[in-house]
Amino acid sequence: MRLINLWRQEGTWQRWPGYVRAVRAFARINESRFMLGERLVVPIPGVGAFLPPPLRGNRMRPGDGWLPAVLALGTSITLLAAPWPQNLFLILTATAFIVALLKPAIGMGLLVLSVPIQSVGEHQLGSLHLTVTKAVLIGLITAWVLRTTTLRRGFRLGLVEGMFGLHVAVLALSIVNARDSAAWGSELYRWWSGLVVYVIAITTIRDVRSSIPILVATIAGVAGTSLLGFYQVAAGLGPASFSVGGLVRAFSTFGQPNPFAGYLEVTVPLLAALAASWVGGPWRSQLRLTYGDRLLGASAAAAVMGLGALVLTQSRGGWIGMACGLAVVVWMVGGAVRWSAVGAGALVAIMVVATPVGARLASRLGESELRSGEGVQVTVANFAVQERLAHWRAGLEMVRRRPLLGVGAGNFSAVYREVTPVWRFRVSRGHAHNAYIHAAAQTGLTGLSTYLLFLGAVALRLRGALRAATDGPERPLVIGAIGVTVAISMHNIFDYLHVLSLPVQLSAVWAIAGAASIERELTGAHVPGAAA
């Protein structure tokens, strides 16, 4: 203790300015209280006696110039100490942690931006599969836990979170029937990560303005992936199996056309709702004040690009889902947008009938006729449909064999071959090509029930948010989230879209839709139609 007192009295601490700057950058210490940011407080008894006087009473300010220095130092040490490419993932995680700690909403934006580029630089480290999204998510979770515990700010878990968690619990319990534990773990991660992101997002996005980073990231993601999809089709890039009628199906960074279509379905309706409300909605002036013309114009441009890219995916389920989602969006926006959309729909119908391009699209949809049986001949034209039907039948057989908890999360492929009698379709595509059958196949009727309850809880949450957002800049976000939910629910009849990191994007969309109702609850504003 004498040495410590001498160190403080003699001013020896002044010889370590780097140490002082580093601690200032991360913490504010006032006697026995450790503070992060403005309101984070954790008592640490006796700490104040061991720290230099300049550190007490100083507030952490990003403008002090500490952040670039800390990032540069940490980056240099990581690049030198860790092997390639693990060092890049560590840097990405650390950066996400710092950003999410200082600006949680921007941290959420980084996570959303990582979804379309998750496969860039992916690396297999033993049994651990590293992606950009996983690296950012680790940093985001760490920062959120630190902020939540130090702020001492509790949060309520509502019906959506409860049903979400219940379905994740059933997925975890299905390990009792799983043959492949690694596949079980991968499927559990997909759902667990979606739940965690949703909880973080609803506690981070407390008002409309805090949703702007997510909107910016969504715009950038849609625009970037769409441009890449355009280039793939124009240059004919892609495997031969992606070619339909001499035209390569766009797949962008997602590896397959259908997941790319799924990504567009969880993003474009949201952007379209903003753009439609800006162009002809009754809340145009309020939108311009809240979001600005640049962001709204970028939303419109990205939505148009995303629709063009969706057409080029040639995903029939994607077309059906997007059509339903956008129909809900334009109808709920109302006004001139609604009737303009009706006129545009009539024009599209005429094009389908009268033009070669429309005839080609119609024939593509016509190939989706769902007929099966011994009398149906399998051809090149209907192979994809017959393969999908074979997967449906396999999923239903799995439910018959394991009705309570299914064959285990992620274990559809492990069991598929033995329940598929048709030799042409003995190779599994990884899922049942139907989210509802797939839920029942991998987690039984118990999992199907929790999945439907979860979707019902989401519907109730969106309904409440719509009632809360009677007008103003919140309403387009809610309408867009409803359109996204409808689009995904429809496409899930023909596919399974809870893959890759799409649940992360979907959770973010649902969370920003709830910002309106959360803000009304915090301010005590009256919600029309609510009980007094």
Position 277 scores a pLDDT of: 92
Instruction: Give the percent of the chain with pLDDT over 70.
Output: 74
Average pLDDT over residues 50-77: 51
Average pLDDT over residues 471-489: 93
Q: Which residues, in sequence order, are bridge partners of residue 43?
A: 33
Position 29 scores a pLDDT of: 37
Position 65 scores a pLDDT of: 53
φ, ψ dihedrals at 209, nearest 5°: -65, -30
Please compute Rg for the chain using Cα positions. 26
Position 60 scores a pLDDT of: 44
CA 124-127-133 angle, to 5 degrees, is 55
Three-class SS of 433-458: CCHHHHHHHHHHHHHHHHHHHHHHHH
Cα distances from 299 to residues 30, 127, 212, 312, 510, in angstroms, run: 45, 39, 11, 20, 18
Tokens 């629910």 found at: 489
Average pLDDT over residues 31-51: 36
Helix pair 515-523, 435-468: axis angle to 10 deg = 40
The larger pLDDT score, comparing residue 185 to residue 60, is at 185
Position 129 scores a pLDDT of: 79
User: pLDDT digit string (tens) for 447-474?
Assistant: 999 999 999 999 999 999 998 887 778 8
Which of 73-87, 273-287, 337-351 is modeled with the greatest confidence?
A: 273-287
Continuous H helices in 82-211:
86-102, 104-114, 132-151, 159-173, 181-204
Position 327 scores a pLDDT of: 93
pLDDT band for position 365 (50/70/90)? low
Position 369 scores a pLDDT of: 53
What average pLDDT does the structure give for the chain?
81
Weakest mean pLDDT among 77-81, 118-122, 466-470? 77-81
Position 262 scores a pLDDT of: 96
Tokens 């009706």 found at: 342
The widest CA-to-CA distance across the chain, in whole angstroms, is 95
9 has pLDDT over 60? no
Helices (runs of H) and strands (runs of E) counted in the chain: 22, 7
The span from the CA of 96 to the CA of 92, in Å, is: 6
Weakest mean pLDDT among 5-19, 392-406, 437-451? 5-19
Q: Measured in whole angstroms, how far is the alpha carbon of residue 145 from the centre of its chain? A: 20
- 425 and 376 Cβ atoms separated by less than 8 Å: no
User: pLDDT digit string (tens) for 210-263?
Assistant: 999 999 999 999 999 999 999 999 999 988 888 887 889 999 999 999 999 999
279 has pLDDT over 70? yes
Weakest mean pLDDT among 46-55, 186-195, 223-232, 251-260? 46-55
Count the residues in the chain: 532
pTM of model > 0.85: no
